[in-house]
Amino acid sequence: MSKRYEIATFGGGCFWYMVKPFISHQGIKCVTVGYTGGCTKNPRHEEVCSGITGHIEVVQVIFDPELLSYEILLELFWQHIDPTDSNGQFTDRGSAFKPAIFCHSEHQRRLAYNSKVRLNNSGIFSKPIVAEILDAGQFYPAEESHQDFYKRQPEQYQRYYIDSGRQHFLEKHWNLVYSS
């Protein structure tokens, strides 16, 4: 395994539901939930969710590019969000939950842009792809109570995953079947 890890950062609504799609893949060192994109230093969850900080809930993925490409991470990202909704994801509404790709290099920006164009041209969605592609900035890990939520609160995770509409959307558009 190489020692040269890279960082990928994605906003896809409630960050609890963006960990599991990434964590099980070979080449992933860790996935941390947190906040980025705003102006407040060391924001707290309540502040971010209120929209006053300008931050977005995100997952930061540390990965080995020799084992898992950034292009695969982009595919996983697209397949776990509604890329046509700029005002949140599923029942999580507001700027803190909008879909975004935060690029850590020009190479990531180019790959993200190309993947967005391909998805927009694919015909999978009848509305345009509106997820933003932004420069990565300061990342603030979320409070410990939000890390690994799917493991610590599996029943609540599953219930919200279904009740939020995320499960139905992913099944309809990506043929992804939920597994707990």
- Classify residue 136 by its DSSP letter: -
Q: What is the pLDDT of residues 80-94, one digit of tens each?
A: 999 999 999 999 999
176 in any annotated domain: no
151 in any annotated domain: yes
Q: CA nearest 8: which of 93, 99, 98, 77? A: 77
Q: Which two tokens mark 165?
A: 């509409």
pLDDT mean over 68-77: 97
pLDDT mean over 111-116: 98
CATH at residue 41? 3.30.1060.10
The whole-number pLDDT of residue 177 equals 59
178 in any annotated domain: no
The active-site residue, picked from 14, 30, 49, 103, is 14
Q: What is the pLDDT of residues 4-61, one digit of tens each?
A: 999 999 999 999 999 999 998 999 999 999 999 999 999 999 999 999 999 999 999 9
Domain that holds residue 134: 6-171
179 in any annotated domain: no
65 in any annotated domain: yes
What contacts 155, CB < 8 A, 6 or more positions away?
A: none
Phi, then psi, of 58 in degrees rounded to 5: -140, 165
Is the per-residue pLDDT at 132 higher than 80? yes
Q: How many domains does the chain have?
A: 1
C-alpha distances in angstroms, 45 versus 53, 83, 97, 104? 10, 23, 12, 24
- Let me know if 30 is a catalytic residue: no
1 in any annotated domain: no
177 in any annotated domain: no
